[in-house]
Amino acid sequence: PRTCARSRLLSENMATHVAKKPKLGGDGEEGATMDHDSPEKENGAAGGSGGGSKFAEGNVHDLMRLYYARLFPAKSMMKWLAYGNDSKQPQADQGFMQRREFCFTLEGDIFCRYQSFKDDKELRAALKDKIPSKIDIGPVFNVDPQKRLAYAGGGSGTDRVFAPTERELVFDIDMTDYDDVRSCCSSAAICNKCWPLMTVAMKVVDAGLRQ
């Protein structure tokens, strides 16, 4: 199985989230696709451009909007997850990325699952619109996850079944696991002295898998 670290874009200073995770979708399905229109979206600010945009100092949500619009490596992210299927080679599966699930965690701890994107432009547009506090990368399904409801009723003996076909083997390494040996920081705090511990952890996992 492929091995990668899960992409986790966390804002530790984000406003405190409520404990419950609401279920989305009118049919009772948990985590159904949600069309989210942020109440903070400004009129005439489509695309995040324009000289009149102002970001409140210390407002993490506003800073995340700026980050997703200008700094987030959407193109590199999509290329990394495509495993060569974004190329023009004959063996490339051009529909590979559109069958990959992305899950956004929005303000209020709302899960917005079964997102899929054809390319980096679609991904960046969704990030700028929804401003997630966290991104989780899910499996690759046999069909576009946004069209999953058309396959939900498939029974045995049919090909209309919505199911995952592959995903990465993920090892989640948390900095808080090293609080008993860190002398510089604790809990969610991180400094430059903390990162060598993560480097060592990744090398240990890599060596263990190879041996």
Residues noted as catalytic: 101, 172, 174
Contact by Cβ (8 Å): 134, 10:
yes
Q: Six-digit token pair at 8?
A: 């986790």
Helix axes 120-130, 74-82, angle to 10 degrees: 130
